[in-house]
Chains A and B, each alone.
Chain A
Amino acid sequence: MSPAPHAPLFVREMGLPARFGLYVLLCLFSLALDARYSALSGVRTGLNALLHPLQIALGKPWEWTQNTAGFFVIHGELTAENSQLRRQMDLLRAGGQDRQALLAENERLRGLLALPSRPGITPIVGEILETVPDPFSRKVIINRGASNGLSPGWPVVDAAGLVGQVTRVFPWTAEVTLITDRDQGAPVQNLRNGLRLIVSGQGSDNLLEIRFLDMHADLKPGDWLYTSGIDGLYPAGIPVARVVQTEPPRNTPFARALCQPLGGVGQYRHVAILKPDPAVQAQHAAPPAKAAPTAKHPTDRHGSR
């Protein structure tokens, strides 16, 4: 037990306000560095690597209680779920056959039109560890990181549709910004007529919006929006949202549309990170990168691409 230092007899240090001022300056400096120049990503990555095992260890007891509780699930519940899954599987099998036929047909049509075939993507399955406790943004942490070959900018999907984008990569974890985040956007195409749009989050969990919509744009409630693939980051054809409502321009020259995300944003525990094929990336990199505005977020903050 070391004795607590009492106030020294002769004070030879700066006064409290001066010390406080210095710390405030230091904080503001690091805030500015982080917000404007992202110069502290190395420090952040290092500290995160130290903190991550601790956070995992802290979560373990909770996980154990969950597992124990899950062990005592009633038999009937399992049977019901089993039969439901069986039915679902039948449905999926039927759908799958359909899909095979469609894929073949698509391939033929693409061949006819002399279009390059769909770029290859490798999915990496990850589990959501936690949501980032930040009142300003909607982000989650997944258990795949730089050690699994992730890099910022890759799209994250689930079984139903687009969920978000990898924005920060740590050694064993990565931060995924959900499409419902205000600063996040995705280039999409209307399935009905091929209209190109940009869908962005608006900070609420189950609504997306199309901000600067041309007032004569042909967009109706019920339209399906799929990624267009023109930004070179998101592969084409991932379902993103369904239009719920269009609002005519009120005080601005632009109309606005509200959409419902199709992917279970904030619902599922498992997601797939789509790893783009290097060959395809090279092909996209060859022309001067005409990145869509969505790609801006991870690129300009991290400059890793």
Chain B
Amino acid sequence: MARAEPTPEPPLLPQGAELAAPPTRTKVYASLALALAATLLPWDDGIRWLVPDFTLMALLYWNIRAPRLAGLGAAFTLGLVTDVARGVLMGLNALAYCAATFVILMVQRRLERFDAPRQAFQVAPVLLGKEVLVLTLGLMMGRAEADWRWLAAGVAAALIWLPLAMLVDRITGRPAHPVQHLP
């Protein structure tokens, strides 16, 4: 097992469970579609502003694990679909998703070696930042007033990231403690 003896050099190929069950196209696109469906559900009005953006969470999760399958292109496409589904300006969510993906891809090498709790801490600001960005962009595009309660969706997403990431890790066969790159 790779975990038992932390090597100074990360192995060239994925080892252990990661090798047995690598992220495949099927897994990635199926889970992205599922997350999009969860976002499109007719949520009750009272809690609509509290519902985390599942699409973004799934996107960031796969950005970290399989950056060559879910990158900026996927972010842009999903963002446009979300824009149409929500009836907001075309490109608003697409821009936010692209920005979040960019930030995550910049630090992807570090994040992919973290276990879920540490990832959660690093992903939380991005999740919250996306909500801020959407609201700010909306304000810039000439909407007079924004409903700042929607920031709660970012907080909810940050809170729910850890259990969800652990669950998806478990389902898709990612080892609970990936190889730690020790100095």
Q: Does B91 lie within 8 Å of A31, measured CB to CB?
A: yes
Q: Chain B contact residues (Cβ within 8 angstroms of A): what range?
A: 35 or more
Q: How far is the CA of A303 from the CA of B107 in the complex (A)?
A: 46
CB distance from B183 to the nearest CB of A (A): 23
Classify the secondary structure of B's interface with A: helix
Interface string of B130-148 (1 = CB under 8 A from A): 0000110110011111111
Q: Does A58 lie within 8 Å of B87, measured CB to CB?
A: no
A134 within 8 A of B: yes
Within B103-148, the residues touching A (CB, 8 Å) are 105-106, 134-135, 137-138, 141-148
Q: Does B22 lie within 8 Å of A58, measured CB to CB?
A: no
Comparing B36-44, B161-169, B173-181, the segment that makes contact with chain A is B36-44
Q: Does B86 lie within 8 Å of A44, measured CB to CB?
A: no
Contacting residues, chain A, for B26 (C-beta < 8 A): 1-2
Q: Does B66 lie within 8 Å of A4, measured CB to CB?
A: yes
Contacting residues, chain B, for A17 (C-beta < 8 A): 102
Q: Does A24 lie within 8 Å of B98, measured CB to CB?
A: yes
Within B1-51, the residues touching A (CB, 8 Å) are 22-26, 28, 37, 40-43, 45, 48-49
A109 within 8 A of B: no
Q: Does A58 lie within 8 Å of B42, measured CB to CB?
A: yes
A242 within 8 A of B: no
Contacting residues, chain A, for B43 (C-beta < 8 A): 133
Q: How far is the CA of A132 from the CA of B79 in the complex (A)?
A: 16
Instruction: Assess A139 versus B87: contact at CB under 8 Å? Given A2-B26, A58-B41.
Output: yes
A72 within 8 A of B: no
Instruction: Assess A28 versus B90: contact at CB under 8 Å? Given A55-B40, A203-B145.
Output: no
Q: Does A34 lie within 8 Å of B90, measured CB to CB?
A: yes
Contacting residues, chain B, for A146 (C-beta < 8 A): none
B159 within 8 A of A: no
Name the residue on A nearest B73 (C-beta).
A23
Instruction: Assess A35 versus B142: contact at CB under 8 Å? Given A27-B91, A55-B42.
Output: yes
Name the residue on B nearest A49 (C-beta).
B84
Contacting residues, chain B, for A245 (C-beta < 8 A): none
Instruction: Assess A134 versus B145: contact at CB under 8 Å? Given A2-B26, A30-B91.
Output: no
Most A CB atoms within 10 A — which of B43, B95, B146, B149? B95
Within A1-15, the residues touching B (CB, 8 Å) are 1-7
A26 within 8 A of B: yes
Q: How far is the CA of A137 from the CA of B145 in the complex (A)?
A: 9
Q: Does A182 lie within 8 Å of B144, measured CB to CB?
A: yes
A20 within 8 A of B: yes
Instruction: Assess A27 versus B98: contact at CB under 8 Å? Given A132-B86, A133-B48.
Output: yes
CB distance from B138 to the nearest CB of A (A): 5
CB distance from B42 to the nearest CB of A (A): 4
Name the residue on A nearest B38 (C-beta).
A58
Q: How far is the CA of A35 from the CA of B91 in the complex (A)?
A: 10
Find B76's partner among A23, A48, A129 (CB 8 Å cutoff): A23
Residues of A at under 8 Å CB distance from B? 1-7, 16-17, 19-20, 23-24, 26-31, 33-35, 40, 43-44, 47-48, 51, 54-55, 58-59, 62, 129-137, 139, 141, 168, 175, 182-183, 203, 266
6 closest Cβ contacts across the A-B interface?
A: A27-B95, A30-B91, A135-B147, A31-B91, A136-B143, A135-B150
With A31-B137, A34-B91, A182-B145 given, name 6 new contacts (CB 8 A). A2-B26, A4-B28, A23-B72, A30-B80, A135-B147, A135-B150
8 contacts between A and B (CB under 8 A): A16-B105, A16-B106, A30-B91, A51-B84, A58-B37, A135-B135, A135-B149, A136-B146
